[in-house]
Structure 1
Amino acid sequence: MTSTTTCCKGKPVTEEDVQLKASVRKAYAEVAVKNSAGKAVGIQSSCCGAPKEVDIEYCKKFLGYTDDDMKTMVDGANMGLGCGNPTAIAELKEGQVVLDLGSGGGFDCFLAAKKVGKTGTVIGVDMTPEMLHKARLNARKGGYTNVSFRLGEIEHLPVADNTVDAIISNCVINLATDKAQVIREAARVLRRGGRLAISDIVATSPLPEEIKQDLELYNGCMAGATPVGELKEALENAGFTNISIQVNEESRQFIEKWSHIDRGVQNYVASAIIEAAKM
């Protein structure tokens, strides 16, 4: 029987949760360090690997970024991680406060910063110190004075209640061990009328046990995918309305390449655009 630890919020924390989180942190720390050193790491076409040079066409065709997004970005911010472009659906406006869950090297934060302007603010939260270090250096290089990065877990956000206008996230919530708690935290920090605009991997069919138990596939944003129905229920339970979960069937083409072992994961998971509002 798996041992548990009582937590102040959310479901009890199991030993498995602790191990999963440590594994994810280690995997993305390696991505940050090696990418900063100009080295490829992991399965380069996957969500938890990074090539020496980002595939621009891949980012445009499958993730939805524009030429302008790619050409005007500070070097080192875009590592090719992600499964979509949340800033494209967030409808951000000047002066807003934006929160990015799992901000990585800061790419989506910097795109959001351009949309909210000098009167707006962007906060990135990441649990990996190496990623935070990289993001802060990128912010300095790019002159992004309205962007800050905080160390923290997205299940327990270092952000005050009712202070955020929009939340974005790119292929990160699937890595959390308590997805419902992440959604509750999002509702807590959003102001009334605030929006959730997320790109993430979701399960469209029940995952086989061999996939769910594969640590590499978990770190690779696949084995931890939440079933669409469960995700919708978690959003409703947290008080969100106008919920929309649009599965991108075309994403199965690149997900098929995310593992070096052919497990047919693309038959069970896909990327999705997830939108909701706090009323």
Structure 2
Amino acid sequence: MFRVHPSTCPDSTFPPQMQEMNYGCGTTVHPAELSQEPTVLYVGIGGGLEALQFAYFARRAGGVIAVDPVPAMRMAAARNLEIAGQLNSWFDPSFVEIQAGNALSLPVADAAVDVVAQNCLFNIFEPDDLSQALQEAFRVLKPGGRLLMSDPIATAPIPPHLQQDDRLRAMCLSGALPYETYVEKIVHAGFGQVEIRARRPYRLLDTQTYDLPVPLLLESLDSVAFKVPVPPDGACIFTGKTAIYTGSESMLDDQAGHILQRGIPASICDKTAAKFARDNPDDILITASTWHYSGGGCC
């Protein structure tokens, strides 16, 4: 369970039952992506916790559309949001519009929302369904819109006997993809820029319980994918790398949009990092991924 950080939504009170129903592995609520009162589509409402957090930034009737296929979940979330309305003077339950629907066929028109978000939902899908869910998110986003996701990823491929266990998949333990495959699917859906907000340990699958030759670590990955065209030379993936020019001049201009001042780290995407490492190995130091990036980079 991921607890709400108080600084995300200052002066807010979250009903205990809402927090108890939050089984996300991270968070999709990144204030930097929620300026100018966006319209948010939240897929898989859960107890309504993140829908309430998104409403903090939207603050208007229907500013958040929460979709879930399970009637009992929709009813429980609606009750929790009514309680939240009693606890928070800024919130009105009309801010969150709860609809029946699922991630594979979203009940929203093309290019209708600024943000799509999901927490610990897409990892339960089989690969083909995951691709369809990502394509649906891409469809409903406006140009330049953002897909905010938090999912478990695997540090090694998960064996077939665990992937085929429906109970473990529903518990968010066996559907996790390796990082490279996860990001590849996002890009294949059409997203031209992906930024990693956080990457942290999530669960350890031990050898005895899960019949594994060695323990397998799952990590939680928070990401933001932008509906922008994929550049001809590939998508821009930001993982917290920086480039530091170490040459004799005061700066370096690669004539491709990257200007580096000597001795000052500049955020770059992984694609640019690989190019610099190949073309300027003696003059540019490339730092390792921090797996924490919040914008302002080279591309």
- SS for the counterpart of 1:168 is strand
TM-score by length of 1: 0.69
Tell me the equivalent position of 1:217: 168
Aligned to 1:159: 108
Q: Does 1:171 align with 2:114?
A: no
User: Equivalent of 1:121, from 29, 38, 63?
Assistant: 63
Matched with 2:155 is 204
The SS at the match of 1:138 is helix
Deviation at 1:73, TM superposition (A): 1.1
SS of alignment partner, residue 95 of structure 1: coil
Identify if the C-alpha distance between structure 1 residues 148 and 119 changes in structure 2 by more than 3 Å, giving closer, same or farther.
closer
- Greater RCO between the two (CA within 8 Å, min separation 6)? 1
1:246 and 1:116, CA in 2 relative to 1: closer, same or farther beyond 3 A? closer
Aligned equivalents of 2:131, 2:32: Cα separation in 1: 21
Q: Counterparts in 2 of 1:6-25, with a 5 A limit?
A: none
1:73 aligns with 2:14: yes
* AA matched with 2:123: N
Query: 2 CA distance for matches of 1:150 and 1:120?
Result: 11
Post-superposition shift, 1:224? 1.2
Partner letter of residue 162 of structure 1?
A: A
Q: Which residue of 25, 30, 54 corresponds with 1:83?
A: 25
TM score, norm. by length of structure 2: 0.64
Aligned ranges for residues 1-279 of structure 1 at < 5 Å?
59-60=2-3, 65-66=5-6, 72-78=13-19, 79-88=21-30, 91-118=33-60, 121-143=63-85, 144-177=93-126, 178-245=129-196, 248-251=199-202, 255-256=203-204, 261-262=209-210, 267-279=216-228
8 Å Cα contact 1:247-1:270 kept in structure 2? no
Alpha-carbon distance change, 156 to 119 in structure 1, aligned in 2, over 3 angstroms: closer
Aligned-residue offset at 1:215: 2.2
- Equivalent residues of 1:167, 1:197 under 8 A apart: yes
In structure 2, give the amino acid aligned to 1:230. Answer: T
Residues 82-102 of structure 1 show CA distances to partners (whole Å, capped at 9, x for unaligned) of 101110366212421001111
Summarize the Cα distance change of 1:141–1:214 in structure 2 as closer, same or farther, 3 Å threshold.
same
Q: Secondary structure at the match of 2:47?
A: coil
Is the deviation greater in 198-207 or in 139-148?
A: 139-148
Distance apart, 1:262 and its partner CA = 4.9
Any stretches of 5+ residues in structure 1 without a counterpart? 1-57
Q: CA RMSD in A?
A: 2.8
Secondary structure, in 3 states, of the residue corresponding to 1:274? strand
Partners of 1:155 and 1:67 lie apart in 2 by: 33
User: For the structure 1 residues 262 and 247, does the alpha-carbon distance in structure 2 shift closer, same or farther, using more than 3 Å as the test?
Assistant: farther
Structure 2: give runs of 5+ residues left out of the alignment: 86-92, 229-299
Please give the secondary structure, in 1, of the residue aligned with 2:99.
Answer: strand
Q: 1:67 to 1:91 in 2, by over 3 A?
A: closer
CA–CA distance in 2 between the matches of 1:126 and 1:134? 11
What is the rounded CA distance, in whole Å, between the counterparts of 1:230 and 1:119 in structure 2?
38
Structure having the higher Rg: 2
Which range moved further: 160-169 or 237-246?
A: 237-246
Report the CA distance between 1:173 and its aligned residue: 0.7
State the AA in 1 paired with 2:152. I
Deviations 1:161-197 (A, max 9, x none): 1111011111111122310101100000000110111
Secondary structure of the corresponding residue to residue 110 of structure 1 = helix
- Aligned residues with identical type, % of pairs: 33
| Counterpart Cα distance in 2 of 1:205 and 1:90 | 32
Give the conservation status (yes or no) of the 8 Å contact 1:113–1:120: no
Q: Is the 8 A contact 2:62 2:97 kept in 1?
A: no
Which residue does 2:294 correspond to in 1? none
CA distance in 2, matches of 1:246, 1:147: 25
Contact residue 89 and residue 197 of structure 1 kept, 8 A: no
Moved more, 135-144 or 194-203: 135-144
Shift of 1:208: 1.2
1:233 positional shift:
2.1
